[in-house]
Chains A and B, each alone.
Chain A
Amino acid sequence: MASTETKADDLAGLEAGLDALDAVQVRRTPAREILLNKVLPPVIAVVLVVLVWQLLVWAKVTDDYKLPPPAAVWDSLTDMWVQGTLLEVIWTSVSRGLLGFVMAVAIGTPLGLLVARVKVVRAAIGPILSGLQSLPSVAWVAPAIIWLGLDDKTMYAVILLGAVPSVANGLVSGVDQVPPLYLRAGRTIGATGLRGTIHIVLPAALPGYLAGLKQGWAFSWRSLMAAEIIASSPDLGLGLGQLLENGRNNFDMPGIFLAILLILFVGIAIDLLIFSPLERRVLRSRGLLVKS
């Protein structure tokens, strides 16, 4: 009896040793390193671009009204800030874009699931859904205005037509890439049918789905800007797209530059603030974010 006890203790000790030797060390990156490797390079890049821009202005490569100096654009920005219209204009577009995106997710998710899981549905609308992704959603603006009139409905229709295929396709490719091993493992523990979808397929497809959401946001934002530039009406309020269009009508080049930069800035900011952290969190928790 005593000998088996010792044997069991031996085994436990050996096992503890193996576990300690083999365990994977997970290291958190210190803030300084993040600052140095992640934040500094893009800041330098932006500074360089502005510098080159300023140099071109100084070198007078073209007329001032065609290429305004960075300072003039900055002045337009501060003007809008002082007038109090800056945040209002940004918010008009962002709130529209986000609401449209949320609707696109609400429609695209069940649609994607249906396409991924039901063979007939996939055969029927799978190719159309992929094809729609390559159709620039600006093409929908004209019919949308005729069908729905010059109001917010048009905006949302164009956003949906742009973003729903991305969201749905993201989910479809996420589901397609679920390793068959997970499905088998799920089935052996009793996750079949709807339970399999909820407990295995959806969580396993999450990284692909998130990539689809990210792209869906980009498409939402692009579609909205296209719609705002083309469809301007006092009823619609002033968004970033209209700001750009107004700049063109008034031949106000700094205003046009400002509008373009703001559109770019919002697109990047939403991605950096919402989608990238979400994606990183999901990938890191699964050990899929390998540090080089």
Chain B
Amino acid sequence: MATTTLTKAEDRAEVEHAARIRHVSKSFSGPTGQQLVLDDITLDVAPGEFVTLLGASGCGKSTLLNLVAGLDRPTAGSIETPGGRPALMFQEHALFPWLTAGKNIELALRLRGVPKSDRRPEAERLLELVRLGGAYGKRVHELSGGMRQRVAMARALAQDSQLLLMDEPFAALDAITRDVLHDELTRIWRETNASVLFVTHNVREAVRLAQRVILLSSRPGRIAREWKVDIEQPRRIEDTAVAELSVEITEQLRGEIRRHGQH
């Protein structure tokens, strides 16, 4: 097994939080006036912590992620990411089709200010990290869905950010590929010591991956409940402990959804 160097975890400035979200609200102007999407969200992500945000549609989980990513501004409240601009992965791979897999990663390195001569070896190291050593010169359309998401993961890691935001990155993949990528993500998370804020509507996925699961209620999105997941890694999605906690969380999630049918 090739050992990959950690992404300079030791060099990182000691910070108390990877993300500090304080009383954040967000409303959009809709057809019926101002629509409150997120209501008073307060949440911390500790350095190296893996948190999943779970919720039904309309809970504003993607909106929250966009706010943390700095792609949008909250209506009220504050968001701090002391570790610099967070990296963001989407449900779609969002790789640039005019660049090869390797060049996609190199673009992120270049925009981060990595000198030219270091870019190629670093891109190859990152591809190696997601086990795509031979894919440097491959075009995006020549890769399978799972491979594309791994390149996207490598590109996100190229930002060397302390916080990795993931917006349902595996939702469009088939079950086997998704399962494999869960293992990969867990491995990479431990190797890089990054913090992860992972959005999903898949309860088992949330439990399988996270140290902490946060359930959001819908319309407006509020923190409904949170669970600490003490199950030892490596976990499997079919583990009894994962299944049991999933049942409990699903029950709660159904309750949240049911409330919306009552008026």
Contact = CB atoms under 8 A, between A and B. Distances in A.
A285 B98 contact: yes
5 contacts: A4-B234, A15-B146, A18-B146, A189-B159, A287-B139
Contacts of A47: none
A18 B177 contact: yes
A69 B111 CA distance: 65
Q: Which of the listed residues A187, A188, A204 has the most CB atoms from chain B within 10 Å of its own CB? A: A188
Contact of B96 (A8, A195, A204): A204
How many A residues are at the interface, by size bracket?
A: 35 or more
A169 to B, nearest CB: 21
A36 B108 CA distance: 44
Interface of B: 1, 69, 71, 85-88, 90, 92, 94-99, 107-108, 111-112, 131-132, 139-147, 155, 158-159, 176-177, 180, 183-184, 187, 234
A143 B88 CA distance: 56
A176 interface: no
B111 A191 contact: yes
A235 interface: no
B183 A203 contact: no
A200 B184 contact: no
A19 B112 CA distance: 30
Given A188-B71, A189-B111, A287 B140 contact: yes
A23 B98 contact: no
Contact of A12 (B95, B97, B112, B131): B131
B111 to A, nearest CB: 4
Interface string A192-232: 00010001100110100000000000000000000000000
A9 interface: yes
Given A181-B94, A185-B94, A287 B111 contact: no
Nearest to A188: B88
Nearest to A3: B234
A49 interface: no
B71 A187 contact: yes
Given A11-B180, A285-B98, A286-B139, A23 B1 contact: no
